[in-house]
């Protein structure tokens, strides 16, 4: 297993390097960050030349790439077009998004696996049909629609009914928030609840559908029938043979969908006015701020590759038949 992890890490480094080359070329060729300045007749050529040098736009493409990459692996992501350090902004916005994404992923994983197993055990009955109807409903509704519906029909009526704010509909925290972590926790929870619920609803439904299908396949397998024939208790058959084997394909889906969760976070942050990675990324795209876009895409690539490696490791834990020699 250790040798396999080392090989996969080496392979992941190569994939990450190639992805940075591709992303850098696409982003660098997408537009000129100084186009607005160049079109302004009141800005001198000398000023534009200084800006180009500060942002390294005067260098050839591959020199620019190597300068960015060699600094990025050391944690230096350069400067924005407003001469602010990208790294400082990155970790600030990343912490905001991570608060939402981690909670949503954990809840969606538990809910998706639980609902999938529940539906499979009641295959063809009312519980199965009801849960699958809800799953397909949430899967088909756009993220921003779910967010707006939660704000309009859950948060606002509830806040008015109890005559106090239970769920905030905008921002990741109150502007005047002070004190330590535990004193801030209720405010964080009130701001985080609706965005997390939005992400959970659009994420868990697909995982529940996959889990239901995988569980039904496991129930009809020969090794489950053999276990029942040996007189093993139904609970042990379910947990040790059905669910454990059904989790193997779902693990891949959850790992690959982590990038989709980050994508859903971009829309969710816009709906709830969170100043996280998604909002920061959109600002970078709209202003053609290359270093912001590159930093976001690099962090996303690291997480996607890391979660795929984690899925491969979990295979051996879930299925003893899988060995990596």
Report pLDDT for 120: 92
Q: Distance between CA atoms of 298 and 49, rounded to whole angstroms? A: 28
Q: Encode pLDDT of 295-325 as tens digits.
A: 998 888 888 888 877 777 777 666 666 655 5
Quick one: which of 121, 133, 100 has its CA closest to 271?
A: 100
Report all structural domains of the chain as residue ranges with CATH numbers, in order of start: 2-33+87-318 (1.10.3720.10)
3-state secondary structure of 127: helix
Q: Encode pLDDT of 144-188 as tens digits.
A: 999 999 999 999 999 998 888 889 998 888 887 777 778 888 888
Q: Distance between CA atoms of 68 and 76, rounded to whole angstroms? A: 8
Quick one: which of 239, 268, 226, 248 has its CA closest to 103?
A: 268
pTM for the model stands at: 0.84
Report pLDDT for 208: 93
Two structure tokens written together for 69 = 């990459």
Q: Distance between CA atoms of 78 and 224, rounded to whole angstroms? A: 56
Q: If you search the block for the tokens 């959850």, which residue do you land on?
A: 254
Per-residue DSSP letter, 257: T
Q: Distance between CA atoms of 144 and 113, rounded to whole angstroms? A: 25
Four-residue CA torsion sign, 88, 92, 95, 100: negative
Q: Distance between CA atoms of 167 and 158, rounded to whole angstroms? A: 8
Q: Encode pLDDT of 10-22 as tens digits.
A: 888 888 889 889 9
Q: Encode pLDDT of 168-178 as tens digits.
A: 998 888 887 77
Quick one: which of 248, 236, 238, 221 has its CA closest to 318?
A: 248
């Amino acid at each position: 297993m250790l040798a396999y992890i080392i090989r996969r890490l080496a392979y992941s480094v190569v994939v990450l390097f190639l992805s940075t080359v591709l992303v850098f070329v696409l982003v660098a060729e997408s537009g000129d960050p100084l186009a607005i300045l160049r079109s302004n007749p009141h800005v001198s050529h000398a000023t534009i030349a200084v800006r180009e040098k500060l942002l390294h736009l005067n260098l050839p493409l591959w020199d620019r790439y190597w300068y960015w990459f060699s600094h990025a692996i050391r944690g230096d992501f350069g400067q924005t077009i407003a001469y602010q350090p990208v790294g400082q902004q990155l970790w600030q916005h990343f912490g905001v998004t991570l608060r939402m994404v981690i909670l949503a992923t954990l809840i969606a994983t538990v809910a998706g696996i639980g609902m999938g197993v529940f539906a499979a055990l009641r295959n063809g009955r009312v519980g199965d049909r009801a849960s699958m109807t809800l799953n397909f409903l949430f899967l088909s509704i756009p993220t921003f629609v779910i967010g707006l519906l939660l704000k309009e029909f859950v948060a606002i009526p509830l806040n008015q009914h109890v005559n106090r704010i239970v769920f905030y509909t905008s921002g990741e925290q109150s502007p005047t928030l002070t004190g330590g972590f535990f004193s801030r926790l209720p405010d964080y929870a009130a701001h985080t609840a609706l965005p997390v619920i939005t992400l959970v609803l659009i994420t868990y439904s697909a995982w529940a559908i996959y889990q239901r299908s995988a569980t039904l396949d496991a129930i009809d397998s020969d090794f489950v029938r053999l276990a029942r024939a040996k007189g093993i208790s139904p609970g042990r058959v379910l947990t040790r043979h059905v669910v454990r084997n059904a989790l193997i394909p779902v693990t891949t889906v959850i790992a690959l969908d982590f990038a989709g969760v980050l994508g859903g976070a971009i829309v969710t942050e816009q709906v709830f006015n969170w100043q996280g990675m998604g909002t920061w990324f959109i600002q970078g795209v709209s202003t053609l701020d290359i270093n912001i876009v590159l930093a976001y895409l690099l962090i996303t690539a690291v997480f996607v590759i890391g979660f795929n490696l984690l899925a491969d490791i979990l295979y051996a834990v879930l299925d003893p038949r899988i060995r990596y020699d």
